[in-house]
DNA sequence: TTGTAAGCGTTATCAT
DNA sequence: ATGATAACGCTTACAA
């Protein structure tokens, strides 16, 4: 159906090798033939077949990006940065949404490997104790061995796999946030955590507890309710927390989306934020500033991480196999936190 | 480097044809050989080469999705729906961000065509008068002729190209919105429109003007300020409008993001919304409800459109070439509109 | 049920 | 500067 190199060659009265040369422009070709060839290309609406090319040249022009959910701005922003940066090298990005399922993640990595992608960028969190974790490590190791760069973007390193990691230091971010809450006078601080078992949840919770510990404030497990990373988790988690006899003076949400849910729940109950309840987010997605009240949160360098991951994936920025970079989060103080009401 | 079918065949002591058969499972193979083959596959960490397969079988397992900006939730949600639906057929989705540039769009479509993608889903708007438009039509026509399905998702039809269109009826959506504003008593209604020349901008503006006309309200061109589809355009557009001697009682924003910018500008000037100024959005992205005040807007069936586009692209849902479906938007009344202050 | 072998559309190595 | 031609790794008639 579609025209092939041979068709173009026939039409231009040259060999297919010559056509290939003018198309790739990496070989001397007489100007006159080049023009004849280009004319034939135009006449026939010829479009190279990337598969044939990939097969013959053993290279591919696509990279894979694995995210939990591309419609979540946290991932959308990172994926966009990866894509934008890699597009500079004419690379295409396959984007895969796992919905947070480690099994799906493995499946997608497998599919990407079949495609012989140049690189795979993995975002999101690990589930260190899941049965899938060992499989993941093995798969990544194999990928790297097969010359497929693997970049962990905003995700903990995968030791001994050769994957490059751009980690977010969630421990410090969460610690800074809780320290701030403490400094404002809060003592009864509740958390709506991310999914149990996720590395992100662990790191953020650990940072929170560390801040509590250093201030000599006892951690109350009944104030930790688990959830997901979505608005609904925040809404529901807040209901649970606000039904308690002794209400918290502050709620630390797993991320901004969760915080938005908390704010909605508070609004529904006519609880003034931050007057009667302080709320914090995490990530600083672009909407955090438009929430009401504007969210006090922790800014993660999503774009910087994505861009850099894109450059490393594209091979434009060097990175030693197994290198790990830690990216510092930044506390962003806005309006959703105030001192607790005395009494 | 990587193991090939032949390697597996050698190891299993069978022909490569047999290996291909067990891998594809579309041919009878003796259970004993199947096991030997699978064992060899595992031993060698064999992974099929999708390029070789695509070349030989003349089919590909990927589809392309073209968006303006994947980090914008409007596109993120649609792209996510397309991807999620097509993943059911084990298809991979290449996502391309054009930043609204028609030239980039053409470039990406070309790249996708090389990849011999199964289908291309185009989102966003057209620029009917741009020089690129004719090229776009020609390219789409060629794609369809080459058996690449093209689905226009939330985007106006492309006549005579064979592309299937899932249109949003922006005229009616905008009309309903302005009618509502009018019914609340507004007469001096300003607009911050999308980019001049975009089909989306035109349709929404036309709906707005139609509503004005049917109510016998004269349209004041000085109340229309152009912009982009981002928050900054809203912020800046609002500054311009609010600097006018005679301020509008309502601002119709090009979309929710723009409306968020307008709200921010109003907040900065201590202008009460909706008390002194009403503001409307468009799209009903998920954050619209969390804005302050919650945005009155027009809901577009983004997920429905994306899912359906994904199904058509995957070939799971039939659609006659050139078919065009119009999806109805819905007015969502929340808190950002009130009656104008008398006087 | 299994093997043989001819493509699929490029690139790349030799020649010329 | 250009042409043959052998890969590249798989699918798929056609045989056996």
DSSP state letters, A118-186: SEEEE-S---TTSTHHHHHHHHHHHHHHTT-EEEEESS---TTS--EEEEE-HHHHHHHHHHHHHHTT-
pLDDT band at B26 (very low <50, low <70, confident <90, very high): confident
* Nearest nt (C1') from B5 Cα: D9
CA of A15: nearest nucleotide by C1' is D3
- Report DSSP state, residue A195: -
Query: What pLDDT, on the 0 to 100 scale, is given for residue A26?
Result: 82
Q: Which two tokens stand for residue A22?
A: 């003018």
Q: What are phi and psi of B278, to 5 degrees?
A: -95, 150
- Alpha carbons A185 and A339: distance in angstroms, whole number: 6
- Please tell me which of the candidates B76, B97, B146 has its beta carbon nearest to residue A71: B76
Say whether B280 sits in a helix, a strand or coil.
strand
* Beta carbons of A125 and A93 less than 8 angstroms apart: no
To 10 degrees, what angle do helices B302-314 and B73-87 make? 40
CB < 8 Å to A291, chain B: 290, 292
Among chain A residues, the shortest Cα distance to B84 is held by A97
Average pLDDT over residues B13-40: 92
pLDDT of residue B27: 85
Confidence of residue B28 (pLDDT cuts 50, 70, 90): confident
Task: Pick the closest to residue B168 from B53, B16, B283, B76 (CA basis).
Answer: B283
Reduced to 3 states, what is the DSSP secondary structure of residue A213? helix
What integer best gives the mean pLDDT of chain B? 96
Nearest-angstrom CA–CA distance, B225 and B240 = 8
Residue where the block lists tokens 């009155």? B296
CA distance A35 to A51: 26
Which chain B residues are within 8 Å of A45, Cβ to Cβ?
142
- pLDDT at res. B207: 98
Are β-strands B149-153 and B119-122 bridged in parallel, bridged antiparallel, or unpaired? parallel
Q: Which pLDDT value is given to residue A18?
A: 93
- Classify residue B132 by burial, with Cβ atoms within 10 Å: 0-12, 13-18, 19+: middle
d(CA B200, CA B310): 22
Q: pLDDT at position A28, please? A: 83
Determine the distance between A10 (CA) and D5 (C1') in angstroms.
Answer: 17
Instruction: Please indicate whether, in this complex, the C-beta atoms of A49 and B114 are within 8 angstroms of each other.
Output: yes
Q: Which residue is nearest to nucleotide C2 (CA to C1')?
A: B18
Q: How far is the CA of B6 from the C1' of C5 (A)?
A: 14
Phi, psi (deg, nearest 5) at residue A229: -110, 25
pLDDT for residue A88: 96
Contact between residue A317 and residue A304 where contact means Cβ atoms under 8 Å apart:
no
Give A-chain residues touching B2 at CB under 8 angstroms.
Answer: 146
Positions in chain A short of pLDDT 70: 1, 343
Mean pLDDT to the nearest integer, B233-260? 96
Q: Per CA to C1' distance, which residue is closest to D3?
A: A15
Residues 262-301 of A with CB under 8 A from B: 263-264, 286-287, 289-292
Q: How far is CA A153 from CA A109, A127, A287, A301, B69, in A?
A: 15, 16, 22, 11, 20
What per-residue confidence (pLDDT) applies to B178? 98
Task: Tell if B2 CB is < 7 Å from nucleic strand D.
Answer: yes
Comparing alpha-carbon positions, the chain A residue that sits nearest to B110 is A47
Omega before residue B287 within 30° of 0, cis: no
Q: Looking at beta carbons, which residues of chain A come within 8 Å of B114?
A: 47-50
Q: Do A70 and B54 touch (CB under 8 A)?
A: no
In DSSP notation, A39-66 reads HHHHHHT----HHHHHHHHT--SEEEEE
Percent of chain B whose predicted confidence (pLDDT) is above 90: 95
Predicted local confidence at residue A137, as pLDDT: 96
Residue A180 tokens, joined: 């701030």
pLDDT of amino acid A341 = 85
- The label of the residue with tokens 């495609």 reads A115
DSSP assignment letter at A283: B
Quick one: pLDDT at residue B131?
87
The string of pLDDT tens digits covering residues B297-343 is 999 999 999 999 999 999 999 999 999 999 999 999 999 999 998 75
Prediction pTM value: 0.96
Taking the C-alpha atoms of residue B117 and residue B64, their distance in angstroms, rounded to an integer, is 7
Question: CA-CA distance, A109 to A140, in Å (whole number)?
Answer: 8
Task: Work out the widest C-alpha separation in chain A, in whole angstroms.
Answer: 92
Alpha carbon B138 to chain centroid, angstroms: 21
Minimal CA–CA distance to A106: which of A117, A96, A116?
A: A96
Q: How many Cβ atoms from other residues are within 10 Å of residue B308's Cβ? A: 22
- B214: which 2 tokens? 């049917």
- Give the whole-angstrom CA distance, residue B274 versus residue B335: 7
- Check: CB of residue B195 under 8 Å from CB of residue B229: yes
Q: What element of type H or E holds B324? A: strand B324-327
Would the Cβ of A137 be found within 7 angstroms of any atom in strand D? no
User: How many Å apart are B91 CA and D12 C1'?
Assistant: 23
Q: Are A151 and A312 in contact (CB under 8 A)?
A: yes
Contacts of B110 in chain A (CB under 8 A): 47
Chain B from 6 to 45: CB within 8 A of any A CB: 45
Q: What stretch of H or E contains A253?
A: strand A250-253
Cβ within 8 Å, pair A55-B52: yes
Partners of residue B97 in chain A, C-beta under 8 Å: 80, 83-84, 87
What's the gap in Å between the CA of B231 and the closest CA on chain A? 10
Mean of pLDDT values over B35-58: 95
Question: CA torsion sign, A277 to A280 to A286 to A289?
Answer: positive
- If we measure between CA atoms, which residue out of A21, A231, A25, A330 comes closest to residue B290? A231
The C-alpha angle with vertex A215 and arms to A181 and A126, in degrees rounded to 5, equals: 70
User: How sure is the predictor about B193, in pLDDT bands with cuts at 50, 70 and 90?
Assistant: very high
User: Is B187 strand, coil or helix?
Assistant: coil
- Cβ–Cβ contact B113 with A under 8 A: yes
Q: How far apart are CA A224 and CA A230, in angstroms?
A: 16
B316 close to B291: Cβ distance less than 8 angstroms: no
pLDDT at B273: 97
Report how far residue B104's alpha carbon sits from residue B94's, in angstroms, rounded to the nearest whole number. Answer: 15
The arithmetic mean of pLDDT across residues B190-212, rounded, is: 97
- Structure confidence at residue B241 (pLDDT): 97
Q: Which residue has the tokens 């980090």?
A: B71
Q: Considering only CA atoms, which of A179, A281, A181, A286 is closest in space to residue A229? A: A281
| Stretch 155-174 of chain B: residues touching chain A, C-beta under 8 Å | none
Q: Contact, B231 vs B260, CB < 8 A? A: yes
d(CA A176, CA A167): 17
**β pairing state of A324-327 and A278-280:** unpaired
Torsion of CA A14, A16, A22, A24, to 10 degrees: 180
Q: What is the pLDDT of residues A268-284, one digit of tens each?
A: 999 999 999 999 999 99
């Amino acid at each position: 159906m579609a025209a092939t190199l041979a068709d173009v060659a026939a039409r231009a009265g040259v060999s297919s090798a010559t056509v290939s040369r003018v198309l790739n422009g990496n070989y001397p070709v007489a100007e006159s033939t080049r023009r004849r060839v280009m004319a034939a290309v135009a006449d026939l609406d010829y479009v190279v077949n990337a598969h044939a090319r990939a097969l013959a040249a053993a290279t591919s022009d696509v990279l894979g990006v694995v995210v939990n959910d591309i419609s979540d701005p946290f991932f959308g922003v990172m994926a966009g940065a990866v894509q934008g940066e890699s597009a500079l090298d004419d690379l295409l990005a396959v984007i895969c949404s796992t919905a947070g399922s480690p099994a799906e993640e493995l499946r997608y990595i497998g599919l990407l490997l079949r495609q012989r992608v140049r690189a795979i960028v993995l975002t999101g969190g690990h589930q260190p104790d899941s049965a899938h974790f060992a499989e993941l490590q093995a798969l990544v190791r194999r990928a790297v061995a097969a010359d497929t760069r693997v970049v962990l973007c905003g995700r903990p390193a995968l030791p001994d796999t050769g994957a490059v990691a751009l980690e977010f230091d969630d421990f410090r971010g969460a610690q800074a946030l809780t320290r701030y809450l403490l400094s404002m006078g809060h003592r009864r601080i509740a958390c709506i955590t991310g999914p149990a078992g996720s590395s992100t949840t662990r790191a953020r919770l650990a940072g929170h507890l560390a801040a509590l510990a250093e201030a000599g404030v006892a951690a109350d497990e009944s104030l930790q309710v688990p959830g997901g990373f979505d608005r609904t988790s925040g809404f529901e988690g807040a209901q649970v927390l606000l039904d308690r006899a002794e209400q918290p003076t502050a709620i630390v949400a797993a991320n901004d989306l969760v915080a938005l849910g908390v704010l909605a729940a508070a609004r529904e109950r006519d609880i003034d934020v931050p007057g009667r309840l302080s709320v914090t987010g995490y990530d600083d997605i672009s909407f955090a500033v438009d929430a009401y009240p504007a969210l006090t949160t922790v800014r993660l360098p999503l774009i910087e991480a994505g861009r850099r991951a894109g450059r490393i994936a594209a091979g434009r920025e060097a990175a030693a196999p197994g290198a790990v970079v830690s990216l510092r989060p930044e506390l962003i103080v806005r309006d959703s936190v105030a001192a607790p009401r005395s009494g």
